[in-house]
Structure 1
Amino acid sequence: MEKIIAIVGPTAVGKSALGLKLSQKFNGEIISGDSMQIYRHLDIGTAKDSPDELRMVKHHLVDICDVNQRYTVKDFQEKAVQIIHDLDDQKKVPFVVGGTGFYLNSLVRNLNLGGESSGDDDLRQELLTLEQDNKLDVLQNILKETDLEAFNSIDISNSRRVIRAIEVYKTTGKSIVDQSNGSKWADFYIIGLTDDRAKLYDRINLRVDKMVDMGLIEEAKTVFDNRESIPQAKNGIGYKELFPYFEGISDLNSCLDEIKKNSRHFAKRQLTYFRNQMDVDWYNISEVNDYQQVISQKIEQFLGGKNDNLG
């Protein structure tokens, strides 16, 4: 059975840095589990690894879409499974790194996500129109009435997740959170990084400040100006909050404060999701001495000699 390492946790906690270090040590390659890093040219706001870091270790599912292309959790699941099979053939260890909880869960639990769409074009168009009109509250109410289990489990602030949950229920008659195919297809060791709340929030605030220095405002302006950008790209944290500044209805500092606030709220939702939905081995980076070494030893035990390059 294929063995896969996943690294999860809230934004800004250090998942990417750990993934780079471990994938080098264990002859691995990285599969991005982030729903925004798929987009070309959205580099700063999505916290992609730098060009040098991308060259250090081969990355998959990064920079594979333009901002006008739709990308679903089903797309991620199918592509990630194929990459994992290919890496196993090459005797390499897959490291799935990212903070998009439902993406990771779809892979770990082998969720049956139905077809590409609901099969009901009228329904799909209705849902997409509501999304384009920023009627998230209406979509949430539809989901609540259709699938209360999903409403209480998924990130309902993400319109694409809400739409997908509605479609899956309409297609299969089952909740999107209860779509396991039943058989265990691979062996996962899921590493969770966390930190004390105050320290994590400080890390998030500092990251936003660094992003601004790196050119976040200019990057967000290209998203704002691109009429072909789909809502999935435009609604990313770090971009949508700056739109009022570009429209001249809010000052820059207020918009940056909004990015920090939304990022903190997102981190809280990520932690809640991973703790409730997945079997994670958690490490508080401020409390576990030399946590990277501890994790490395756990991985060696998990791989059980499968890999010949165990540092």
Structure 2
Amino acid sequence: MEGYSNRTEEKIPVLAVVGPTASGKSRLAAELARKYGGEVVSADSMQIYKGMDIGTAKVTPEETLGVPHHCIDFLEPSQTFSVAEYVRMAGACIQDIYARGKLPVLAGGTGLYVRTLLHGTQLSEGGGEDPILREALREKAQREGGAALLEELRQFDQQSAERIHPNNIPRLIRAIEIYRTTGRTMTQQLEESHKIPSPYSALMLGLTFADRGKLYDRINRRVDQMVESGLLEEARRFLESPEEKATAMQAIGYKELAPYFADEIPLEEAVESIRRETRRYAKRQLTWFRRDPEIHWIEVDRFESWENVLGCAEQIISQERFLTS
């Protein structure tokens, strides 16, 4: 186990591992944390929910390699959780890990979580709130569906409309609420947040594939493994719960099974839909992360073995003088 030192004393060092789903980032984060005496802080907006294990590809106890993991598996699916709440919780975890002489290792594919945390974004739950408007938007969603909210949002915030899924009703409502009450879009708030100094000194590693088809093959195999591991039973449990269905319908791997449970489509069609939507999600993740010039990319399929991928990550860490022995 190696130690580390902060290159910029006034900032907390954070090693971040990002990339698309099924790229191996959770494994790499756990192995690097074990090697350098760190703890993992998750940056995944769906893995925060209890019981949504198979469909979100949540790390198993064995996959953690004995390394403590934070910001994962702590919230009931019936509850909501905002980006601002994530930033506060993850920030507190990072400070605690660092105070105990450990290295914070951020791992996840939710780009908004990663950016708002590492770029020092200060999001506030106060302001831009209108309970009456919020309730009216909820009723509109019930009557007309998330697509109607998405179309309304598109009229004044095209970038957020492209980023938010129509099934993510709480996020759509919040984006509209912010604009209607403040006159400023969620996108504008995020852009302005970059002017705030970051409290962290981050080294970002990104996993990708030179051949996108190989990533998609991994995704297809993972979906099949999920089905074999009990995804149907897990999804049915959440989709049949009135309190938890709204959250499940936001997550890939659950909402695609709803038509199957309603006897509207055969199982294979539902599973293929999961594969397709997961591939699309991976493409969106790559598009998001590719915008960040600070990420050091590692093309997984250019290496003969996982040990070589790990070695490449360690070489980058050494070359950047992020850690010292």
Among residues 78, 89, 92, which one is paired with 1:79 in the alignment?
89
Secondary structure of 1:242's aligned partner: helix
Q: AA paired with 2:221?
A: L
Contact 1:117–1:167 (CA<8 Å) still a contact in 2?
no
How far apart are the structure 2 equivalents of 1:160 and 1:279? Answer: 31
> Matched residue pairs, number?
306
2:18 matched residue in structure 1:
8
- Gaps spanning 5+ residues in structure 2: where? 1-10
Q: 1:71 to 1:92 in 2, by over 3 A?
A: same
Matched, 1:247 2:248: no
1:178 matched residue in structure 2:
191
Contact 2:20–2:282 (CA<8 Å) still a contact in 1?
yes
Contact 1:221–1:246 (CA<8 Å) still a contact in 2?
yes
How far apart are the structure 1 equivalents of 2:278 and 2:177? Answer: 28
Shift of 1:108: 1.5
Secondary structure of 2:202's aligned partner: strand
1:217 matched residue in structure 2:
232
1:67 matched residue in structure 2:
77
Contact 2:49–2:72 (CA<8 Å) still a contact in 1?
yes
Q: AA paired with 1:183?
A: P
Secondary structure of 2:63's aligned partner: helix
Q: 1:211 to 1:43 in 2, by over 3 A?
A: same
Among residues 282, 295, 300, which one is paired with 1:285 in the alignment?
300
Using the size of structure 1 for normalisation, the TM-score is: 0.90
2:3 matched residue in structure 1:
none
Amino-acid identity (%):
37
1:275 matched residue in structure 2:
290
Shift of 1:170: 4.4
Q: AA paired with 1:242?
A: L
Deviations 1:230-268 (A, max 9, x none): 523332100011111111111111100100010011011
Shift of 1:187: 1.0
How far apart are the structure 1 equivalents of 2:121 and 2:302? Answer: 34
Shift of 1:192: 0.9
How far apart are the structure 2 equivalents of 1:65 and 1:139? Answer: 26
Q: Bigger shift: 39-48 or 125-134?
A: 125-134
Q: AA paired with 2:312?
A: V
2:277 matched residue in structure 1:
262
Deviations 1:211-248 (A, max 9, x none): 01110000001011111115233321000111111111
Q: 1:32 to 1:248 in 2, by over 3 A?
A: same
- Gaps spanning 5+ residues in structure 1: where? none
Q: Bigger shift: 124-133 or 198-207?
A: 124-133
Shift of 1:12: 0.6
Q: 1:84 to 1:170 in 2, by over 3 A?
A: farther
2:117 matched residue in structure 1:
107
Q: 1:125 to 1:277 in 2, by over 3 A?
A: farther
What are the residue-to-residue correspondences of 1:45-194 with 2, within 5 Å?
Answer: 45-54=55-64, 56-116=66-126, 118-133=128-143, 135-151=145-161, 154-157=163-166, 158-170=168-180, 173-174=184-185, 175-180=188-193, 181-194=195-208
How far apart are the structure 2 equivalents of 1:242 and 1:248? Answer: 10
How far apart are the structure 1 equivalents of 2:266 and 2:286? Answer: 31
Shift of 1:122: 1.5
How far apart are the structure 1 equivalents of 2:105 and 2:119? Answer: 16
Using the size of structure 2 for normalisation, the TM-score is: 0.87
Secondary structure of 2:123's aligned partner: coil
Give the superposed CA RMSD: 2.2
2:6 matched residue in structure 1:
none
Matched, 1:296 2:309: no
Shift of 1:133: 4.9
Contact 2:203–2:322 (CA<8 Å) still a contact in 1?
no
Contact 1:32–1:97 (CA<8 Å) still a contact in 2?
yes
Shift of 1:123: 1.9
Shift of 1:156: 4.4
